[in-house]
A and B are shown apart, each in its own frame.
Chain A
Amino acid sequence: MIEATGLTKRYGPTLAVDDLSFSVSAGRVTGFLGPNGAGKSTTMRMMLGLDRPTAGDVRIGNRHYDELDHPLRTVGALLEAGWVHPNRSARNHLRWIARSNDIPDRRVDEVLGLVGLTSVAGKRAGGYSLGMQQRLGIAGALLGDPEVLLFDEPVNGLDPEGIHWIRELMHTLAGEGRTVFVSSHLLSEMAQTAQDLVVIGRGKLIYQGTTDDFVASATARTVRVRSPQLPELKQALTRREVSFDESDGALTVSGMDSDAVGELAFAAGVTLHELAPQRGSLEQAFMQLTGEAVEFHTGEPTPD
């Protein structure tokens, strides 16, 4: 449904998006994952024709955004919930958007009901809480009943109830066969929301595929073992066809939990000095994967 090819955006000397190619399919929630400053928002702005790519292009259902007739009926987007005039009421905000794409006024009340803002629709949007603004933004994205939905960091600053609501909504939308593309800088969030992932760092593609594969590869469990009888232990492991790495006189065993490693050592009559399960968190794994691609490192003190 969405197809980016060689997408590149340069701001002066910095490459915000670097030769990015990926595709997003319909009927699934696709997460767009990357650390802050990785180029997610820039990419989404280019999808909507707001920013002009330096090179490459992005197509939605085989067409450029600016070739779409009544674009809001094809693509609904929430890039920033704050893009509302604070003195305009929510209903009036949605009314002008609806009018611009020949969407009937009754649809405005429908989406207001859908996001639960009916009772405050006449109030000025500037007085809304962050969560309400987010709901208003989502109402705007849903106005045209679009096949494609883009959300940029939709759960930022929301309370757990709001986060849950957005997650459910995205699943419902994808379940209806729509294309849902949602960005986040939190892998743990995406692991619960997205079926597919597009991961970028420093504007470059790092991974595209299913979330399950990414999480599995990112958080593979390992066990660290130290023993005075390393050769015997290695033999025992090799016999069981378990893979391991050796460094600093210790083994890092993957694909076997610490219980099994302990039992194996006992059976082989090997003394253990250390048996420690190593479990990388999702965030750690994500940092490892994108580590080289993080734009802003904290300054590390240099030893003198």
Chain B
Amino acid sequence: MTLLAVERIKLLTTRSPWWCALVALVVTAGFTALVVGNADEEFPATVASTQFGYSFGLAVIMVLAALAVTTEYRFGTIRTTFQAVPNRAAALLAKTTVIAVLSLIIGEITAFVCWGISLLLQPGADLALNSTADWINVAGVGVVYAVASVIAVAVGILVRHSAGAISLLLIYNLAVESLIQLIPSIGDDIYKWLPFNVANKFLTGAGESNAGRMAEAGAPLSSSPLSPGWALAYFAAFAAVLLTIAITTAKRRDA
């Protein structure tokens, strides 16, 4: 508990997390307002369309999480941390937990604000959360943000430089996964198992939350063969493996 309190103080006594949280909310909500605001008879607003913009906030969350680690390396406070808490694994796990919880909270607020805005913009549309798929699509966004923040923390620990870690994360998340699809013959098979594609499967499933709207008219569905539950487990396991590698490396390395 002590270590969680320490990391909470550290995270919340600088400004960048607050800015990142605000940016994640504004960017995602803005995109949602555009999509939902333009819905019409032909393309009605659905629960899924209220969450089309989640990946924008996701990118910002990963920046927040990576920065929370890399700034500690940049300003040397990671050494003070290890000096105060020689058990590096415990210190880094506490940090990861605090960042993941903050990301979860930001994700939930963002998702429900987006859903709320959509209700205001399209009072006639069927946006009620009346199935498990609907609930997962909205409330699951916070969970995906939390797991993605763990991935970003792990990359931050491994890379240690802000610019390097952030570009790696953003280029991977925004470009590499989709570009892999372009590899002839095997590209699609690899893509099925890439983490952010799988995370999308968890959120959107087979398109149930997009009911009333043709699949091709919404955001493309994930090609992952997993069920939503297993998709989340797979995404979380990927993050856990990455974090384990990162912490093992940090323990062995000179601080």
Contacts and interface: CB of A to CB of B under 8 A. Distances in A.
Most interface-central of B15, B252, B254 (chain A CB within 10 A)? B254
A100 B6 contact: yes
Contacts of B72: 85
Nearest to B252: A52
Q: A interface, by DSSP: helix, strand, loop or mixed?
A: loop
Interface of A: 45, 48-52, 65-66, 68, 71-72, 77, 79-80, 82-89, 92, 95-97, 99-102, 140
Interface string B69-85: 00110011101111111
Interface in B1-50: 2-3, 5-6, 9-10, 13-16
Contacts of A85: 10, 14, 71-72, 75, 77
A100 B255 contact: no
Q: B interface, by DSSP: helix, strand, loop or mixed?
A: helix
A87 B82 CA distance: 20
B103 to A, nearest CB: 20
A88 B63 CA distance: 19
Contacts of A72: 83-84
Contacts of A79: 79
Given A65-B86, A87-B16, 19 more contacts: A45-B254, A49-B82, A49-B86, A50-B82, A50-B254, A52-B252, A68-B86, A82-B76, A85-B72, A85-B75, A88-B14, A96-B6, A96-B9, A96-B10, A96-B13, A97-B80, A99-B5, A100-B3, A100-B6
A67 to B, nearest CB: 8
A212 B254 CA distance: 36
A99 B2 contact: yes
A99 B9 contact: yes
B227 interface: no
A77 B10 CA distance: 20
A270 B130 CA distance: 117
Contacts of B75: 82-86
Interface residues of B, number: 27
Most interface-central of B16, B80, B252, B255 (chain A CB within 10 A)? B80
B244 interface: no
9 contacts: A48-B83, A50-B254, A51-B254, A52-B254, A71-B86, A79-B79, A87-B15, A87-B16, A100-B85
B3 to A, nearest CB: 7
Contacts of A52: 252, 254
A79 B79 CA distance: 10
A177 to B, nearest CB: 23
Most interface-central of B5, B14, B16 (chain A CB within 10 A)? B14
B251 to A, nearest CB: 10
Contacts of B3: 100
B12 to A, nearest CB: 9
A102 B71 contact: no
A95 B16 CA distance: 19
Contacts of A97: 80, 84
Contacts of A45: 254-255
Given A66-B87, A77-B83, A100-B3, A87 B14 contact: yes
A144 to B, nearest CB: 9
Contacts of A77: 83
A227 to B, nearest CB: 60
